[in-house]
Structure 1
């Protein structure tokens, strides 16, 4: 898997000066003194500057390696009577310091600040966030009788080109403080120390808040997206931006009390309350309940699209949404929710399931075409996954496509490869950007065929990305 080491100029100087400082002990006597003093000065200066402007945790072992080497490198130069340590003692110390210094670039490579692929479509991408409350649905996660279900929806849409110096939207939230809150919650949900993801909140996407919609009178098809269990509305930003650049409006949902953290407009943060018990039957019962809530959220937001298009909810998309062409999509548990929403709500026109296990206890026939992207199936994959998924998509009254993408893992179909360690079991064995790129390309091939008149059969395009199974009405 290809990946770039992300180091600022100051960090590069710190690493180089630390390496020279540690290695100078092995130079000939004449160059040893000036090289050691120059490297020590550079290491101290760049370390101080980074400490003032913001020291990333990845640079801590570099500083530690330089600090350990500094007294042993400089002390012999300050006093003529000082003696250097014998080589057989210095060699292990040199190796230890170099290992510490190397840990900095390695950590930066393994856990980088995500860099999002440039969208390839002809449109710029605008974004905005709405909080939508369903007056007819109580919030079942709280005991308050007057609490109503609220979801937070982020829109990515085709937009006019902004000036080149326009500030782009942060990744995980409307503001960097919100993004940091969400990042810390995601790390906590995964059982990781929060500092491991501290570069993620500083990432910038390609979308810009509040841009006017693209020129023209075209109405854009809509894709509603539900993230994975504990996931957040922005977890597939690269996918959403690519689709938006090609003329789709993508709406990612935060599901309060399920998503790792949902920051509301009034400043409240709602943390996840979902958890597993270890009992398979009980966990499946809970998953079915969470899926049902998410399916209802998708249907509710689909119904609100008419208010947004009609201007009742003001914004840049007034008069620009094609509410007759709306797809339900999701990853993992969200993919199962999209399938369930399809048979419950005939207003959806298509379904995209990104490696999602169906948890509907009573799946019913539905009319919408389906695209299901799955990871490569191995011995660690749930043996019930493919049989259950095949049964559910076989209930579609339209053609359904199941595409198994080689080299993928469950998180390949999200933004995770852009910032998590490139471990095949975690994010697959593809290039960092390949997973998001393939996910978006396959989704576009399917959406172009199913949400546009005369779109044709996407089978040929889909086959280019993996092993395709086509399920046609009637069970063929």
Structure 2
């Protein structure tokens, strides 16, 4: 199977990251006005981080989920190493509208273990500063695709940590798929705050799953196109909004990696196979087959699993989510890639440990807003002092090896 179980000793050595190296207990949720405000773990790298949002419009294809929208809109959040953050305000993790809709829908849309009230998601701050100027030198670029139905905001902690170590990280939101996405402008055919079309697991609906993955791959490739526009000195934002100084100059598009969780993990692995601009990929529990068409029938393998890859791919999993179905597609790509694929497993954990729920769920449990059973279902019993550095360490060490940020 070519996998290695992460040991406690390996991850405890880096557990100080949860408090920025202070050695104190992991960050706990704050309380404001009677509501709990979840806190993100601190980044661990030497760089302060800046952040900006881009609204990108692909006029070559319609929206796949809403026939009234004639173009495909994609939202991205870009985290980057900052030259200075002086005078720049900290960015919130969520926009106000997305946070409100997320708080309403998340406990109903597959995460019934989350509290329906008592959490002020909109008040959670990132460690990144709005429109902070980028550092000098070209930096490797990493694109992140979140899990099916998840908003990109749930990948903030890992994105910030990677940026603090010298990467430019582009978090992609996939409207219509993501649970709650807020646009910077209105248009006919959609609301400003758009909810997911999913009502349950999209793998239970083969046609929907196929549309979701195909759309995500196209979104990733379109975002790469728009990053080329940015690197060439032009502004790809459809509204022409201000960009951080020197952001375009910071992009080294000769060193591009992709990473994703669940459906995002499926999409980035296939993007690695299809697009030669991508040099390396990490899939965190993404199936590499289409959804089965019927009970007891295996799903058709994606080309990445049928044919293998000629560039590095890391498969990250948990013992709590492992299944015969996942093993089948992962074993296929392992067998066909000539040693370029590695598999790793984090024990005592479950599927959403690869997201910010790894830090948030224990905070909500401590605040008596989540049961131990709910926390274990979401992220497993693993302590965030182990899980957060383990995930960060695996992803960063992989990209450091194949797309090193230290080369400017």
TM score, norm. by length of structure 1: 0.67
Corresponding position: 1:187 with 2:128:
no
Aligned to 1:371: 314
Question: For residues 144-159 of structure 1, what are the structure 2 equivalents within 5 Å?
Answer: 144=68, 147-159=70-82
Aligned to 2:340: 399
Corresponding position: 1:254 with 2:173:
yes
| Structure with greater proportional helix content | 1
* Greater C-alpha radius of gyration: 1
TM score, norm. by length of structure 2: 0.77
- Give the unaligned 5+ runs of structure 2: 1-24, 187-191, 236-241, 291-299, 366-371
Distance across 1 between alignment mates of 2:153 and 2:281: 19
Distance across 1 between alignment mates of 2:215 and 2:288: 14
Aligned to 1:222: 141
Distance across 2 between alignment mates of 1:454 and 1:129: 25
Aligned to 1:426: 378
Shift of residue 261 of structure 1?
1.3
Question: For residues 326-337 of structure 1, what are the structure 2 equivalents within 5 Å?
Answer: 326-337=256-267
Q: Deviations over 1:370-393 (max 9, x none)?
A: 11110015xx74321112112124
Distance across 1 between alignment mates of 2:226 and 2:201: 35
C-alpha RMSD over aligned residues: 2.7
Question: For residues 107-256 of structure 1, what are the structure 2 equivalents within 5 Å?
Answer: 113-144=37-68, 147-163=70-86, 166-173=88-95, 176-190=96-110, 192=112, 195-196=116-117, 198-214=119-135, 216=136, 218-256=137-175
Does the 8 A contact of 2:88 with 2:131 survive in 1? no
Shift of residue 120 of structure 1?
1.3
Aligned to 1:294: 216
Shift of residue 151 of structure 1?
0.7
Question: For residues 351-366 of structure 1, what are the structure 2 equivalents within 5 Å?
Answer: 351-360=281-290, 361=300, 362-363=302-303, 364-366=307-309
Does the 8 A contact of 1:368 with 1:397 survive in 2? no
| Structure with greater proportional strand content | 2
Distance across 2 between alignment mates of 1:272 and 1:197: 23
Distance across 1 between alignment mates of 2:134 and 2:157: 19
Corresponding position: 1:315 with 2:243:
yes
- Give the unaligned 5+ runs of structure 1: 9-52, 57-111, 456-476
Question: For residues 340-355 of structure 1, what are the structure 2 equivalents within 5 Å?
Answer: 340-355=270-285
Aligned to 1:55: 34
Shift of residue 454 of structure 1?
11
Distance across 2 between alignment mates of 1:323 and 1:162: 25
Distance across 1 between alignment mates of 2:225 and 2:400: 23
Q: Deviations over 1:398-431 (max 9, x none)?
A: 6211111112210111100222245323212222
Aligned to 1:437: 389
CA 1:290–1:177 in structure 2 vs 1: closer, same or farther (change >3 Å)? closer
Shift of residue 239 of structure 1?
0.4
Does the 8 A contact of 1:239 with 1:437 survive in 2? no
Q: 1:270 aligns with which of 167, 174, 194?
A: 194
CA 1:433–1:182 in structure 2 vs 1: closer, same or farther (change >3 Å)? farther
Does the 8 A contact of 2:88 with 2:132 survive in 1? no
CA 1:195–1:309 in structure 2 vs 1: closer, same or farther (change >3 Å)? same
Distance across 1 between alignment mates of 2:385 and 2:90: 20
Aligned to 1:75: none
